[in-house]
Amino acid sequence: MTDSKATPPEKLARNFAEVRTRIRDAAVRAGRDPGDVTIVAVTKMVPVEVMRMLPAVGLTDIGENRVPAAVEKFPRAPPDLTWHMIGHLQRNKARRALEIFTIFHSVDSERLLRTLDRLAGEMEVAPEILLQVNISGEAQKQGLAPASVRSLLAVASAAEFIRVRGLMGMAHLAADPEETRPGFRLLAELLAEANREGWYREPLVALSITSG
């Protein structure tokens, strides 16, 4: 039953609590610690007025997929948010992006990786990145081929200012969640192999997964 008299912050808090409960239950079923899961609220198309409500309900990680939109929102958004870049990043927008974003989920080329590392050094920032892997095999999707992950991690191991935290992948959109599991499993297996074989200078700990 919905409460028509609930205020927007109350509705937001209730919805977020439901999401956390679902994540907790899923983590427990999988034998995972729910505390290891970071919820990123995707705020593209969301006005700043709504974003200002997020910290009060416990949401402090937000995702934007376009640098111009983030530039417009950032000065008016709460200062205690951690900004995740979840969309494809063009190298000519990397400097502006580094002024706002702390975590980049979509690094998929050596040129972009080197650009971010160089600019991070100039700007004295230390962004975290995830390598985007094309786990669906769809030509229209961004991301590295799975076979290319090892070589890009080798390049990243020599970078001075950026730190790779893990991998990101987007499965194909499907009505049946079971159809997305092979892609997610592939990403998890790649991360496990990278750690087992020492492809990067430190263990990778993060998986960012979605479908679309």
Tens-digit pLDDT profile for residues 183-193: 888 999 999 99
Beta strands in the chain (DSSP E): 41-42, 61-64, 82-85, 103-107, 128-133, 163-171, 206-211
- CB-CB contact of 42 with 61 (8 Å): no
The pLDDT value recorded for residue 147 is: 94
* Fold category of 87-211 in CATH: TIM Barrel (3.20.20)
Residue 212 has pLDDT above 80, yes or no: no
The pLDDT value recorded for residue 208 is: 92
With cut-offs at 50, 70 and 90, classify the pLDDT of residue 18.
Answer: very high
The pLDDT value recorded for residue 4 is: 53
Q: List the single range of 8-12, 87-91, 115-119 with lowest mean pLDDT.
A: 8-12
With cut-offs at 50, 70 and 90, classify the pLDDT of residue 136.
Answer: confident
Residue 211 has pLDDT above 80, yes or no: no
Among 3, 83, 14, CA closest to 51: 83
The pLDDT value recorded for residue 90 is: 94
With cut-offs at 50, 70 and 90, classify the pLDDT of residue 1.
Answer: very low
The pLDDT value recorded for residue 8 is: 77
Identify the top-confidence range among 9-23, 128-142, 157-171: 157-171
The pLDDT value recorded for residue 109 is: 96
Give the pLDDT mean for 68-84. 96
Give the pLDDT mean for 46-74. 94
Spatial separation of the C-alpha atoms in residues 123 and 117, rounded to whole Å: 10
State the chain's mean pLDDT as an integer: 91
Count the neighbouring beta carbons within 10 Å of the beta carbon of residue 145: 11
With cut-offs at 50, 70 and 90, classify the pLDDT of residue 174.
Answer: low
Q: Domain residues of the chain, as ranges?
A: 87-211
The pLDDT value recorded for residue 171 is: 76
Core vs surface per residue 196-212: b (16+ CB within 10 A) or e: eeebbeeebebbbebbe
